[in-house]
Amino acid sequence: MAKRNRKASRRLRLLHSQVLCEGRVFTVRRDRIVEPSGLKATRDVVAHPGSVVIIPVLADGRIVLIRQFRYAAGRYLWELVAGHKEPGEDPVSGAHRELTEETGYTAVRIRKLLEIFPSPGLLGERMDIYLAEGLTKGKANPEDDEKISRKIVTLAQAERWIREAKICDAKTIAGLLYYSKFVSRNSHS
């Protein structure tokens, strides 16, 4: 009996939840909880459906990056293709959709590489990062509120841009460095 109670006390318990703000893509909540350690706390959380991030790699190994203005950052950023998951949408289908919308490319193969939590102290968003290969060029169809340009770069150039802070978007840095270290045919042993 004592074992079961210890195990039960290790679960997260939600005592109260209040919606503070509801947006088009996310909700801000204030939750009163008991953490698995037993700590009682109040946490403000941005609830988000999650995102797909795509590393589009051409047959010659070059990578398609996009550039767009990010209001919250106050500037243009170089990024990997990404977008939030639609309700009930399969993440791989979402990856195909975002790739075509933002770059015009379609992919023969999309496979998941990793998942990250960009800011787990307050943001519930999980980003699933995919590799897209077997690309065919097409016409981009960005959403009405997106003005996107694209650039094709080598992996070495993308790594240089990270070192030079030309790429400073967290999902892009994580995705590109993971790809470089663990997936790319050009990775070092």
Per-residue pLDDT reduced to its tens digit, 120-171:
999 999 999 999 999 999 998 877 787 899 999 999 999 999 999 999 999 9
Q: How many whole angstroms separate alpha carbon 89 and alpha carbon 128?
A: 13
DSSP 4-35: HHHHHHTS-EEEEEEEEEE-SS-EEEEEEEE-
pLDDT recorded at residue 146: 78
Domain 51-183 homologous superfamily, CATH: Nucleoside Triphosphate Pyrophosphohydrolase (3.90.79.10)
Compute how many other C-beta atoms are within 10 angstroms of the C-beta atom of residue 57. Answer: 22
pLDDT digits (tens, 9 = 90+) for 160-175: 999 999 999 999 999 9
pTM of the predicted model, to two decimals? Answer: 0.89
pLDDT digits (tens, 9 = 90+) for 27-77: 999 999 999 999 999 999 999 999 999 999 999 999 999 999 999 999 999
Provide the strand spans (E) within the chain: 13-22, 27-34, 40-47, 51-56, 63-70, 75-79, 81-84, 106-116, 127-136, 149-153
List the domain boundaries for the chain.
2-47, 51-183
What is the pLDDT of the chain when averaged over all its residues?
Answer: 92
